[in-house]
Amino acid sequence: MNAHVPLSPSMESLLAAYASGHLGHGMSVLMASFLTLSPSARRQMETFEALNGVMLDDAEAVEMSDGALGVLMTRLDAPESEETPRIAVGNTDLPEPLRAVLDRPIEEQRWRFAYPGVRQLSLGIGDDDERVKLLKIMPGKSAPQHAHKGIEATLVLRGAFRDGNRLYERGQLALADEHIQHRPRAEGDEACICLAVNDGALRFTDSFGRVARDFFA
């Protein structure tokens, strides 16, 4: 993360932070995946990038250090790495930014029990206090009721889930903060698979969730 910026639970604030490079790796992967799936988010992102360009043009010029040109030329002359990011074959319905951090299709991953009807796959890509995971919620099942210390961003990749009165489907982003207690429930006939990023710990508010918190962390 380039600099720690307190996040607020709105799509606009996350897009602005992503455009300026102020998100951790986990949240950046989530937002890049969201932009892949959401045309409206891409249009908003173009606006933030344009604003950043204007701010850069208006910024005061700063003198380069004496050795900056030499460092740059050395990097340009360095041989290119033959290694390329490995993108998991298959799962072509998943956003490429997510596929780039997976070593195999999600059906071949070792999903871990998290809660009755819920499986999870932790991704070791988070910065600072980020927790990044894939969640698989079986049809009709719910995640444990919980609140947050920080914000939680959840991107629907397959299926759908209901949170309160709102239904979230593929390509939609659900946001929650410390003021919200909720229990997302998978809707429809297929498992709901989501990418979830937390920048703080979860607080489970039902009895089974408190028992299962070591599995869900």
pLDDT band at 55 (very low <50, low <70, confident <90, very high): very low
Domain ranges of the chain: 1-217
Q: Which amino acid is at 83?
A: E
- The confidence score (pLDDT) of residue 202 equals 52
pLDDT band at 68 (very low <50, low <70, confident <90, very high): low
- The confidence score (pLDDT) of residue 149 equals 73
As a whole number of angstroms, the longest Cα–Cα distance in the chain is 63
The rounded distance, in Å, linking the Cα atoms of 119 and 35 is 25
Q: Which CATH number fits domain 1-217: 2.40.10.340, 1.20.210.10, 2.60.120.10, 3.30.499.10?
A: 2.60.120.10
User: Helix or strand or coil: residue 68?
Assistant: helix
More confident residue, 111 or 177: 111
Residues 107-127: tens digit of each pLDDT: 999 999 988 899 999 998 988
Is residue 134 pLDDT above 90, yes or no? yes
148 close to 200: Cβ distance less than 8 angstroms: yes
Please state the pTM of the whole predicted model.
0.74
